[in-house]
Structure 1
Amino acid sequence: MKKLTCIILYLVYALQSNAQTKTLPAKLAWWKHNNLRVIQTNLPDYEAATLNPDSLVADLVNYSANTLIINAGGIMAFYPTKLDLQYTNPYMKPNTLGDVVNKCHQKGIKVIVRFDFSRVHESIFKAHPDWCYISPKGERIINTNMYAVSINAPYVQEGAFQIMNEVMDMYPIDGIFLNMPGYQVNNAYEGKYLGIDQNEADKKRFYEYSKGLTLPTEENPADPTFAKYLEFKKFTGDDWSKKLYDLVRSKHRDIAICTYTEKYVDIIRHESQANNGVPYWPYTASDNVNNATHSFPKHIISNASIQQIGFQSRYNAVEPGEVAIRLYENIANGSGLDLSLMGDMRGYEDERNFEVIKKVYGFHKKHEAYFGNYSSIAKVALIAPGLWPGGLTAQEYRGVQLMLKEAHIPFDIIVSEQIENQADKIKGYGLVILPETTGLTPEALKVLKEALANGTNLIATNTAMSDNPQALLDIFGAKVIAKEYDGGGNYLQPDNAAIFKRLKQQRMLMLKFNLAQYDFTAADSHYLPILSKGRPGPPEIIGGHEPTGYYAMALKKTGKGTAVVLPFNIGRLYYQNGYQEHKNILLDVIERIYPKAMQDVVTNAPEKVEVIVQHYGKNTAGMGATNDGLITHLINLTGFSGASYFEPLPVYGIKLKVRCDFKPRQVFSLANRKPVMFSWQNRVLSFTVDKLGDYGAVVVNR
């Protein structure tokens, strides 16, 4: 009987144990804790001869890094490869990469290895010229002795996987970073455009994909064949990424894939780089992280602060003040920290940023439980023209973003191509702004129309939706008469004092750049009469600015929402010139159709103090619920002046009123854990930051 009882007890215990085992959650992949503190050593070939694993790891520890990105293969092997298709770095020491991986792991540091399959050494090119890029004129993309490759040729389609497989077999790596993925049309390092790759493998695969079309030789958006080619590029890129994903997952579920695209990757990497020209854009990190985080919310984002000034100035770093802003903006928007250096930190050619890096990385390590697990408070969405916007469209987008930043209006950024994939999110915003947004799919337009009918308000600027006349008419009541017209010399009249409250001392507002001419007959109302160019010349003869019959603003209600179109370059005007009247037009329109946008954060902080408020959850076990409270980040950009960065000026007595739907249990400064006096009334939290240096954070706990 005693024996039977023991058997029964054993079986009960075994069943309970088995049940508990089944209910245990799967181990969270390491990168999903979203607490990355990355340092990337972009090694020139010759530094492989002097790289010391012990000093490298000591520096990583000293700077509070928890992740290293280091060269492995592709352009050249930094390890003893056995593959003939890969050129070996002549300075490579056989044990270095293995020692770095092992010594990093001993200190709890993850190692992501870098591959670049965009180029091959000339010795590989001579043996396999058919693997490489060739322009419509028969030119090659060459950088010294490296030749750009073709994506659809055997090196990328087969050899790349052999190289990565070899590294994964040799070393217990934690991740793979792919540099410069995608099709080659430029010599990026020399700024020279050469055209669509005409490699025979590309021609054959495009012919098969398109069912008989010839590979185009020109990038002509009006050409249906080029439109098919764009589809082809996306298809082949996704197909290659899927093959990599399957290969890596077959090896180990805890090897992260990191690159600049979003499909079949675990970590989307972005970059804050030095501007090439003016005006200088000081919000690159906020722009990048906000955009990627809300466009692809299931991914971890890592935005790298690129130390180099440019490809031709790699050994000169950007200013310490700029690096500090980038890193703090990363934290505030929900990215970890990421830094890209030329080589390691020993004997570095420009060490001015090292103290800033050490300070911010150390701060993140000390307080990492309060970072990385955020959800936005914003009820405004700004639609971006891409993850890497450029050209005049980017100026329109950035100008609108700058207005919102300076007015301290919280907003999320969502790339236009993701509207249809973020339908529920879009419908939850009170206001969606479309700066010169074109190319929207029927699905995206359907999402916007449904959101509008349910109470989301829309603002479109310049030529937004002009490529879809029916949508422009249905949503905004606007019909294009002339999409492109030089507005230089024209004026706007702020004709309605009830709307344009910020413009009561102005009767004529200057214009330049594009000024589209629209018929607003189908709109509910129109404002801002456009005056003619008048008579240019000396003071004695100027004047003659008469109404043209066109207007620069129309308003149309649909269901519960209101749509406003401003068919001129309002964003670009502010980005380029910074005149307050153009910002004031937008702010007055926002206040007219969605005044709640102005109420989420109310502050006397200067325009150059960036205020970012997030719902947060303690990040002790990775991403999860964000209901522990609020965190307010303050980033001081007063040291930014035109194109220069100086020490920021201290700001005193910053008063804040933040929308807060719970009665706080505790409010304190994150840096010193000292309590902050506050009041809470009508779901509004009020507190004061006595002094702001370069950065501050205030935590509000439930």
Structure 2
Amino acid sequence: MGKQEERVDWWKDRPWRQIQTNLREIDMVDIDAEQYVAELQEFKANVAMINTSGIIASYPTKLPYHFQSQYLQGDSLEKIIKACHDADIKVVARTDFSKVRRPIYEMHPEWAYISPKGKIVDYNGDVHVCLNSEYQQRYAFEIIKETITTLDVDGMFFNMGGYQVRDYSGVQYGICHCDSCEQKFADMFNEDLPKTEDPNDPVYKKYLLFKTRTLQDFKQKQYKFIQNIRPDLSIANNLELQEGFFRQESNTALDRELPRWQYSASDNTKYVTSSYPNMVSSNTTVDFIDFPTRHVAVSPHQQSLRLAQALANGGALDYYLIGRLDNHQDKSGYEQVKKVFHYHAANEQEYLNLISSAKIGLINGSDGNQKEFRGWFRFLTENHFPFDTIMNDNALNLSWDKYQVMIVPDYQPISDELAEKLDAFASEGGTVIAVSKAGFQDDEYQERQQPALKCLGIQDVNIIRSDMRSAYLHIANNKPYKRLPVTNLLYLDGNYVFAEYENEVEKHLNLIPPQMFGPPERCYSTNDPTEHPGFTVHSYGEGKGVYIPWEPGQLFYRQGYANTIDFIAELLEQFVGIQPIGGNLSPMVEASLYEQKDKNAQLLHLVNGSGHFGISFYEPITMHDLKATVPYEGKPTSVKSLVTGEDYEFTADNGLLTISVPKLSLMESIKIVN
């Protein structure tokens, strides 16, 4: 082992280009350490993730319940890791304690996950084990200790952590009812485990808390155990302590609901860099289409778009494939991945210590309405409003001083403390935008008598109506809505909250209740516009609260019509008073602006998403003669492209900097030196 004092926190201020070769058993038959490293070097990778332990031990283990691979005939993991270190490549150990091989289950059936029907999950001879079982709570720690004392790894990643209730074919088996879960749940809540996942069941709401608490306790226990042995290791995804790296995936699946999320990498990266700034955001582009099709790659341009999005949002590079680089059967993604990895290697110092310049925060979390959130993600991205994603579980620990607007997109279960912070933000001069049922539940999923956010000026909620198809919002005065000059209507579908408001609340737009839409001869409204608003504005202290009682984000995410996105752009500019990055950028261009800490400079990133076409990803169309306008006081000393190396023309006037971009292919990164 190297000297620990020289290796503590090695991941900080280190450019991160990781490749995960998800090694199969048979890959160890003839693996060659020198060739393995040479393949990584062709990509200019400087971090490798390698399978070590858990379901299968990829090294000679001394533990009786650690199933050793029978294919350890090539170079050993020890030799591979040493070769990586000699090439200045860090190694992260990939582990998986979610399953055990069938013979081990036969010796310890009490370790298994048990479905509500009393069945185990045996998938190709691998049996699911429960987070609360003696295996994960005690025996896995013996495997971890052996792994990190036998192998000179630099980090650890735990695959499929938490409560795994689905197999690789996508079959859902339900809540675990093993003896350990039943006992722990009874001890915590004096209740029997719920049989079904019913969000309206009070006991199921307690089960959600049970999962959160037990998983937090487990991660803290795991982290402390590892740190006591190897404090030099970078540990993945420990949000409680917010150290190490945060690993996520941009992936696809054959049966996943459409539309395909084209901002997957931006989304995953942004919320880590915004909400957990001390962690490395390592969002991986998954090479394969789905589990059943692991040997065929997604579009190479989908791969490069994901990587460009990661860089544009302050993240690192990560690529994940099945098998080794040399024996992988579909290498179609290699060229595009190498291009982005090589670009980053040439400019790696420019990507250290970036700080987002965004003035908008968008609240999200595991309990959020993801369709509403993604609609707002698109609203902001495609109108070029720079924004950060603020995760609910860490929002209280972050400074909001730089933000002018906080958006709560139908995030329902928020704590009293977060509601108070949002109200204080508005009172001190900010704007809070809340959508639909935001804050209608507390953080234990219990319905509130009154909405949590006082800044909205809601006195009472009368009814939430879900059958609003064929309802409209009437625009009586088009003057404030420059993008909607010749339409008098916005269309609705989904929920609408009928509420009572305080007298001083300004109401905008008028709801027209659902009306006849067939046959054509009777497609006319017999309903007059009502006093129920399309949105409200409430002055609150030095700032204001804006409330939208329907769900425009969810509607836009599903349908994508200009009628919706143009309205939101007008609301943000005319009624909230925040300006986007200007110029002539297409909605298909994602723009972000970051400060380079300690370099007295900024990075303006442009990512060309024009290759996303329907459900496919093609090479993006090259765009010419673009202009981008950003806020800037004074005049920069230089404006230079990191992609082309060219100096770009610019004008600086009245607090705005306009940059001329001759050509945009996949991406552009422009360094603005003060």
Cα offsets for 1:182-208 (capped at 9, x unmatched):
012222x12222222111122233333
Match of 2:396 in 1: 420
Find 1:536's aligned residue among 511, 517, 521. Answer: 517
Contact 2:474 2:509 in 1 (8 A): yes
Distance, in Å, in 2 between the alignment partners of 1:421 and 1:261 is 12
Contact 2:30 2:73 in 1 (8 A): no
Find 1:681's aligned residue among 633, 650, 653. Answer: 653
1:170-209 matches, within 5 Å, as 170-187=150-167, 189-209=168-188
Match of 2:378 in 1: 402
Match of 1:309 in 2: 289
Distance, in Å, in 1 between the alignment partners of 2:47 and 2:60 is 23
Contact 1:43 1:70 in 2 (8 A): yes
Distance, in Å, in 2 between the alignment partners of 1:202 and 1:662 is 62
Contact 2:242 2:279 in 1 (8 A): no
> Which letter maps to 1:461?
V
1:653-664 matches, within 5 Å, as 653-661=625-633, 663-664=635-636
Find 2:440's aligned residue among 447, 466, 475. Answer: 466
Match of 2:444 in 1: none
Contact 2:46 2:90 in 1 (8 A): yes
Match of 1:651 in 2: 623
Larger gyration radius, structure 1 or structure 2: 1
The question of 1:583 aligning with 2:557 is answered no
Cα offsets for 1:97-137 (capped at 9, x unmatched):
11110111111101111100000000000000001111121
Match of 1:15 in 2: none
Contact 2:413 2:438 in 1 (8 A): no
Contact 1:120 1:147 in 2 (8 A): yes
Match of 1:274 in 2: 252
- Alpha-carbon shift at residue 348 of structure 1 (Å): 1.5
Query: Normalized against structure 1, the TM-score is what?
Result: 0.90
Distance, in Å, in 2 between the alignment partners of 1:499 and 1:480 is 28
Distance, in Å, in 1 between the alignment partners of 2:517 and 2:666 is 47
Cα offsets for 1:581-628 (capped at 9, x unmatched):
211211111123332333xx21201110111111113xxxxxxx4x52
> Which letter maps to 1:229?
Y
Match of 1:638 in 2: 610
- Alpha-carbon shift at residue 443 of structure 1 (Å): 0.2
Single out whichever of 333-342 and 494-503 deviates more from structure 2: 494-503
1:157-172 matches, within 5 Å, as 157-172=137-152
> Which letter maps to 1:175?
G
Match of 1:10 in 2: none
1:323-362 matches, within 5 Å, as 323-362=303-342
Q: Describe the shift of the 1:240–1:417 C-alpha distance in structure 2 as closer, same or farther (beyond 3 A).
A: closer
Work out the number of aligned pairs and report it: 660
1:59-138 matches, within 5 Å, as 59-93=39-73, 95-138=75-118
> Which letter maps to 1:40?
Q
Single out whichever of 644-653 and 273-282 deviates more from structure 2: 273-282
SS in 1 for 2:11: helix
Contact 1:632 1:698 in 2 (8 A): yes
SS in 2 for 1:73: strand
SS in 2 for 1:81: coil
- Alpha-carbon shift at residue 407 of structure 1 (Å): 0.7
Distance, in Å, in 2 between the alignment partners of 1:155 and 1:576 is 43
Match of 1:433 in 2: 407
Find 1:669's aligned residue among 629, 637, 641. Answer: 641
Q: Describe the shift of the 1:76–1:306 C-alpha distance in structure 2 as closer, same or farther (beyond 3 A).
A: same
The question of 1:30 aligning with 2:6 is answered no
Find 2:575's aligned residue among 593, 616, 633. Answer: 593
- Alpha-carbon shift at residue 214 of structure 1 (Å): 3.4
Cα offsets for 1:527-574 (capped at 9, x unmatched):
221113222223222202422442221111111112111111211221
Distance, in Å, in 2 between the alignment partners of 1:643 and 1:672 is 31
- Alpha-carbon shift at residue 50 of structure 1 (Å): 2.9
- Alpha-carbon shift at residue 647 of structure 1 (Å): 1.2
Match of 1:219 in 2: 197
Distance, in Å, in 1 between the alignment partners of 2:143 and 2:347 is 39
Contact 2:419 2:453 in 1 (8 A): no
Match of 1:455 in 2: 429
Single out whichever of 460-469 and 343-352 deviates more from structure 2: 460-469
Q: Describe the shift of the 1:416–1:523 C-alpha distance in structure 2 as closer, same or farther (beyond 3 A).
A: farther
Contact 1:262 1:296 in 2 (8 A): no
Match of 2:224 in 1: 246
Distance, in Å, in 2 between the alignment partners of 1:676 and 1:473 is 46
Contact 2:32 2:75 in 1 (8 A): no
Unaligned runs of 5+ in 1: 1-24, 618-624
Match of 1:622 in 2: none
Find 2:212's aligned residue among 212, 228, 234. Answer: 234
SS in 2 for 1:330: helix
Query: Normalized against structure 2, the TM-score is what?
Result: 0.94
Distance, in Å, in 2 between the alignment partners of 1:190 and 1:115 is 21
Contact 1:382 1:411 in 2 (8 A): yes
Contact 1:499 1:589 in 2 (8 A): no
Q: Describe the shift of the 1:172–1:27 C-alpha distance in structure 2 as closer, same or farther (beyond 3 A).
A: closer
SS in 2 for 1:164: helix
The question of 1:491 aligning with 2:472 is answered yes
Distance, in Å, in 2 between the alignment partners of 1:222 and 1:541 is 39
Q: What is the percentage of aligned positions where both structures have the same residue?
A: 31
Q: Describe the shift of the 1:586–1:604 C-alpha distance in structure 2 as closer, same or farther (beyond 3 A).
A: same
Distance, in Å, in 2 between the alignment partners of 1:535 and 1:471 is 33
Contact 1:245 1:264 in 2 (8 A): no
- Alpha-carbon shift at residue 27 of structure 1 (Å): 7.1
Higher normalized helix content (fraction of residues)? 1
SS in 1 for 2:110: helix
Cα offsets for 1:451-500 (capped at 9, x unmatched):
01011101122322333453357322233222132221111111233432
Q: Describe the shift of the 1:242–1:473 C-alpha distance in structure 2 as closer, same or farther (beyond 3 A).
A: closer
SS in 1 for 2:544: strand
> Which letter maps to 2:175?
I
SS in 2 for 1:173: coil
Find 1:690's aligned residue among 657, 662, 665. Answer: 662
Q: Describe the shift of the 1:415–1:315 C-alpha distance in structure 2 as closer, same or farther (beyond 3 A).
A: same
Cα offsets for 1:325-371 (capped at 9, x unmatched):
10011111111100110011113121111001111111111100111
SS in 2 for 1:30: coil
> Which letter maps to 2:182?
K
Distance, in Å, in 1 between the alignment partners of 2:6 and 2:328 is 42
Q: Describe the shift of the 1:544–1:555 C-alpha distance in structure 2 as closer, same or farther (beyond 3 A).
A: same
Contact 1:379 1:597 in 2 (8 A): no
- Alpha-carbon shift at residue 222 of structure 1 (Å): 4.4
Distance, in Å, in 2 between the alignment partners of 1:219 and 1:314 is 30
Match of 1:556 in 2: 538
Distance, in Å, in 1 between the alignment partners of 2:518 and 2:206 is 50
- Alpha-carbon shift at residue 674 of structure 1 (Å): 2.2
1:511-530 matches, within 5 Å, as 511-520=492-501, 522=503, 524-530=505-511
Distance, in Å, in 2 between the alignment partners of 1:587 and 1:46 is 54
- Alpha-carbon shift at residue 429 of structure 1 (Å): 1.4
Contact 1:631 1:697 in 2 (8 A): yes
Q: Describe the shift of the 1:446–1:505 C-alpha distance in structure 2 as closer, same or farther (beyond 3 A).
A: same
Distance, in Å, in 2 between the alignment partners of 1:662 and 1:304 is 39
Contact 2:100 2:127 in 1 (8 A): yes
